[in-house]
Structure 1
């Protein structure tokens, strides 16, 4: 006779939001962090960034300092500077690490092999899963200075921008229409998800922005992102007013449909 099974239940909660960690079986951080108090053993950049993500998830972004992260890892703060030059570079690494979770998500495709709509649907849900798994970290994705400061709207992860543009261009979009799609898609997605995590009590503020943004990103090597560099002239255009008006018109059109079709009765509503 065996004893009770004490292993954690990793089966998805069928009643939970399908993009939440509970709906995914409890999975959240995919980056192994060195256990608290483990000292220098096994310490490397990946583990430092993983520990920073865990710390922010638990304590909030504003609580993160090099000293506190060092204590969390069981080392002096100075030991961390071997892997990250300072807090600002640490935050940049956190963003890149969290975005890298997209590329480890089996439900997110790296190419639009089943059509661009399928690609964008999967990508949107993958980003939302990141936001729900790391709500305290997620605002950094949209608020950290972009590695290419001329990208509009700004997005820290050029890997995301590059793969997005390549997928749409490969699907038949012109370069101009791919950039327009990037603008509309990222504005909708990040705006919606920032509001969603703010409803969980997460502070969305610029207080963690480094001073001198251009200097903070001057050392970024853009040679890994040829599509982004090639489309700089398009990505740097400020079309905010026109895009706002177009999005507003689309919303009003959708509300016209809602008005025309009427309200769908809620469960238990027995009114005629």
Structure 2
């Protein structure tokens, strides 16, 4: 029991523990939850530990959030809201739809890399509407994306196709990228490299083993740019087909 208490103290302790004199609020609880996940991962987050981090009893948290699941929904919303504060992200196209889409994509990536351990929640949290897709499923940002494309000449069909292509590209790439930054993404989770190839069972795969070093190099930023360019070309083709039709 004493060892467990010591372990809990280690998890919740930190130099930035909030003052007990600061009033408790939903915003403060969500900020503390996101900070906890950033530092320790999602698995260890409990209402009791979050209460300890905030200097209150766990029951006090339920006055502001109904429970852990609702709190995680608020954490997702908090991450998506950071796009509002990103000066590089536009709410409507100003220099063409490609610039608009690129800025939004990079904005979402910045959020993912700022909170890699929390970002997988964007894929697992219930959406605001069943037809929306992560990671761009917040109604405000879906509206921004679709309205921006409409402004640039996309019709309803091509807007929907572009939305599906854009979200698939973002989610697939960014989940893989945050996995390399320590995020737990289930089947996508990565194993620690112990530095001894002979213990990996790779001796039966000489080509894989020979290419282990270049295959393990991090080219995420370049790959993101290349994939984004391919996506933009695909969206341009959709638009040209609509115009010609």
The answer to whether the superposition gives a TM-score over 0.5 is: yes
| Alignment correspondent of 1:129 | 110
Gaps of 5+ in 1: 1-34, 207-246, 252-272
Match of 2:127 among 137, 146, 157: 146
Q: Deviations over 1:225-251 (max 9, x none)?
A: xxxxxxxxxxxxxxxxxxxxxx9xx79
Q: CA deviation at 1:201?
A: 2.6
Question: Aligned runs of 1:96-175 on 2, under 5 Å?
Answer: 96-152=77-133, 156-175=137-156
In the alignment, the residues of structure 2 paired with residue 196 and residue 43 of structure 1 have an alpha-carbon distance, to the nearest angstrom, of 34
Q: Report SS of the residue matched to 1:200.
A: coil
- Structure 1 residues 162 and 131 mapped into 2: Cα distance closer, same or farther (>3 Å)? same
1:47 aligns with 2:28: yes
| Alignment correspondent of 1:24 | none
- Structure 1 residues 153 and 67 mapped into 2: Cα distance closer, same or farther (>3 Å)? closer
Q: Deviations over 1:183-213 (max 9, x none)?
A: 001100111010001112311139xxxxxxx
Q: Give the conservation status (yes or no) of the 8 Å contact 2:88–2:103.
A: yes
TM-score by length of 1: 0.60
The structure where helix makes up a greater share of residues is 2
In the alignment, the residues of structure 1 paired with residue 134 and residue 69 of structure 2 have an alpha-carbon distance, to the nearest angstrom, of 21
Residues paired across the two proteins, number? 177
- Structure 1 residues 132 and 38 mapped into 2: Cα distance closer, same or farther (>3 Å)? same
Q: Deviations over 1:51-96 (max 9, x none)?
A: 1110100010111111111111111111111211111110000000
Q: Give the conservation status (yes or no) of the 8 Å contact 1:95–1:156.
A: no
Question: Aligned runs of 1:72-87 on 2, under 5 Å?
Answer: 72-87=53-68
Gaps of 5+ in 2: 1-15, 188-226, 232-245
| Alignment correspondent of 1:63 | 44
- Structure 1 residues 115 and 195 mapped into 2: Cα distance closer, same or farther (>3 Å)? same
Match of 1:204 among 172, 178, 185: 185
TM-score by length of 2: 0.67
Q: CA RMSD in A?
A: 2.4
- Structure 1 residues 154 and 137 mapped into 2: Cα distance closer, same or farther (>3 Å)? closer
In the alignment, the residues of structure 1 paired with residue 116 and residue 105 of structure 2 have an alpha-carbon distance, to the nearest angstrom, of 15
Match of 1:180 among 145, 161, 165: 161
Q: Give the conservation status (yes or no) of the 8 Å contact 1:144–1:155.
A: no
1:195 aligns with 2:187: no
Q: Give the conservation status (yes or no) of the 8 Å contact 2:34–2:75.
A: yes
Q: CA deviation at 1:48?
A: 1.1
1:38 aligns with 2:19: yes
Runs of 4+ in 1 over 4 A off after TM superposition: 152-156
Q: Deviations over 1:88-137 (max 9, x none)?
A: 11000000011100010011111112211111111111111111110001
Q: Give the conservation status (yes or no) of the 8 Å contact 1:145–1:155.
A: no
In the alignment, the residues of structure 1 paired with residue 185 and residue 38 of structure 2 have an alpha-carbon distance, to the nearest angstrom, of 15
In the alignment, the residues of structure 2 paired with residue 148 and residue 40 of structure 1 have an alpha-carbon distance, to the nearest angstrom, of 39
Q: CA deviation at 1:146?
A: 1.2
In the alignment, the residues of structure 2 paired with residue 112 and residue 44 of structure 1 have an alpha-carbon distance, to the nearest angstrom, of 36
